């Protein structure tokens, strides 16, 4: 049964889950309507450009979340060691400890890649660059920071794919643990002795 949704933003999490479950090509308007509870007219009211606009909006929402909670934190933290741990925790929470696939990664691995190439490239480039910047501030050389940042993204994305394929979220949790163990030690005290996070 169709329902009234007052804001376009209310629909985006539901759309994201529909694309996660069915992929871009597999998510027909009928399936999207079922997932969101909206009729075709309501969907086109919010997204006149149809399914492509829906997917673009979802990717934009994901990018905004990562910019706020991951990339900006890594680029602006006073103590990058703490920021690395903080954003790793946020990443684990976002992907629900391996129970939620990375929609950007799923799009990148499918025929959808070319349709949304700029968004996909920007997401991964920004993540790697923000990690590299924070790691370089911990004392790693530019070459070390670049390699380490790439390894982190590879580890997390690969673990999400493997966890999904084997239906074992523990794979992602173990990968998070390995990445965490290889990070520079966090600063836990200020000059006054009180614990501090960035």
pLDDT at 197 (0 to 100)? 33
Spatial separation of the C-alpha atoms in residues 44 and 55, rounded to whole Å: 13
Q: What is the DSSP string of 41-57?
A: HHHHHH-TTHHHHHHHH
pLDDT at 6 (0 to 100)? 63
pLDDT band at 195 (very low <50, low <70, confident <90, very high): very low
pLDDT band at 185 (very low <50, low <70, confident <90, very high): confident
pLDDT at 151 (0 to 100)? 98
Does residue 136 or residue 2 have the better pLDDT?
Answer: 136
pLDDT at 5 (0 to 100)? 58
pLDDT band at 2 (very low <50, low <70, confident <90, very high): very low
Inform me whether the pLDDT recorded for 186 exceeds 90.
Answer: no
Give pLDDT tens digits for 74-99. 999 999 999 999 999 999 999 999 99
**For the chain, what is the largest distance between any 2 Cα atoms, rounded to a whole number of angstroms?**
60
Spatial separation of the C-alpha atoms in residues 110 and 39, rounded to whole Å: 27
Question: With helix as H, strand as E and coil as C, how does 23-45 read?
Answer: HHHHCCHHHHHHHHCCCHHHHHH
Average pLDDT score over the chain:
91
Q: Average pLDDT in the 134-159 region?
A: 97
pLDDT at 44 (0 to 100)? 94
Contact 121, 144 (CB under 8 A): no
Contact 147, 155 (CB under 8 A): no
pLDDT at 1 (0 to 100)? 44
Q: Average pLDDT in the 4-23 region?
A: 88
Give pLDDT tens digits for 19-41. 999 999 999 999 999 999 999 99
> Quick one: tokens of 179?
């990445």
Which of 25-29, 144-148, 168-172, 190-194 is predicted least confidently? 190-194
pLDDT at 41 (0 to 100)? 94
pLDDT band at 188 (very low <50, low <70, confident <90, very high): low
Residue 75: how many other CB atoms lie within 10 Å: 17
Contact 176, 183 (CB under 8 A): no
CA dihedral 144, 149, 155, 161 (to 10 degrees): -150
């Amino acid at each position: 049964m169709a329902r009234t949704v007052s804001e376009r933003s209310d629909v985006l999490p539901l759309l994201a889950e529909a694309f996660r479950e069915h992929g871009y090509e597999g998510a027909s308007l009928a399936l999207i309507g079922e997932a969101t509870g909206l009729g075709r007219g309501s969907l086109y009211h919010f997204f006149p450009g149809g399914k492509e606009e829906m997917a673009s909006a979802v990717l934009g929402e994901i990018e905004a979340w990562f910019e706020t909670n991951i990339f900006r934190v890594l680029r602006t933290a006073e103590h990058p060691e703490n920021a690395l741990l903080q954003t790793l925790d946020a990443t684990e929470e976002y992907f629900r400890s391996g129970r939620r696939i990375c929609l950007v990664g799923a799009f990148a691995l499918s025929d959808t890649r070319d349709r949304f190439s700029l968004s996909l490239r920007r997401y991964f480039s920004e993540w790697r660059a923000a990690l590299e910047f924070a790691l370089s501030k911990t004392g790693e050389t530019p070459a070390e920071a670049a390699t380490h940042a790439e390894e982190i993204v590879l580890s997390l994305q690969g673990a999400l794919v493997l966890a999904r394929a084997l239906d074992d979220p523990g794979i992602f949790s173990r990968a998070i643990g390995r990445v965490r163990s290889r990070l520079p030690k966090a600063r836990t005290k200020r000059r006054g002795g009180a614990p501090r996070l960035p």
